[in-house]
Amino acid sequence: MNKLKLGPKVKFKKAKFPVKKKLVGDYTILEPLNVSKHAQNLYLEYSKDKKNIIWTYLPYGPFRTYLSFVNWLKSFCLKRDPFFYAIYSKRHKKYCGMASYLRIEPDHGSIEVGHINYSPLLQNSVEGTETMYLMMRNAFDVLGNRRYEWKCNNLNSASKKAALRLGFRFEGVFRQMFIFKGRSRDSAWFSILDKEWPRNKKRFLNYFKKKNFDKDFKQIKKL
């Protein structure tokens, strides 16, 4: 009788839960969300997207008033999971985006990055890339996770392209996973594993070298 095949045994205790501590880089600082400190700056920067494109693939927003934005922050963004950061650009001296950890599973060493919302100031910038690096580095090197996930609407080609650029591997599409804003969403899944992280980390560190950017912070060599 053939033995049933099982996965390899794992010597793994438990990953840590994110804590309210800043993640500091050369270009950005990620601060655990504080409504009284961050809300006004974030709302002003998000409002610069006059066509509200940044909210297209998110399950919430846009927010027509500052009060509605604040109420959403208070009701949704101050939980343990999802765990939100406000993104501060050292160059612009502004808070200009948000991102979070979610689906946090310390027993399995799995954590997802999501609710990524960059204002126009942060889009296609070194600050935006460093934000993703800081969260990834924290997830693996500090929190001790085995798996780091990225999920997005399968119609969001920009998000799928960004995931691949950042080193995530495509895993497939979960069909009819959600209904957001009255529309069906198929979700594309991506991941990076702990064994893949060291190679990706080297890519990031080479990319962030000062000589790889001109005086206007434009990249010379791509990630």
CB atoms within 10 A of CB 108: 14
Quickly list DSSP for 95-151. EEEEEEEEEEETTTTEEEEEEEEE-TTTTTSHHHHHHHHHHHHIIIIIS--SEEEEE
Q: Tell whether 71 is covered by a domain.
A: yes
Using CA atoms, how far apart are residues 181 and 77, in angstroms rounded to an integer? 19
Q: Tell whether 206 is covered by a domain.
A: yes
Total number of domains constituting the chain: 1
Q: Tell whether 221 is covered by a domain.
A: no
pLDDT at res. 1: 58
- Residue stretches of the chain with pLDDT short of 70: 1
Spatial strand order of the sheet with 83-89 comes to 23-24, 28-32, 83-89, 94-105, 110-118, 147-153, 183-193, 169-180
| Structural domain containing residue 188 | 23-212
Q: Tell whether 9 is covered by a domain.
A: no
pLDDT at res. 21: 97
Q: Tell whether 17 is covered by a domain.
A: no
Residue 139: which CATH number? 3.40.630.30
pTM of the model: 0.96
Using CA atoms, how far apart are residues 204 and 207, in angstroms rounded to an integer? 5
Tell me the two tokens of residue 160: 């799928």
pLDDT at res. 174: 98
pLDDT at res. 2: 72
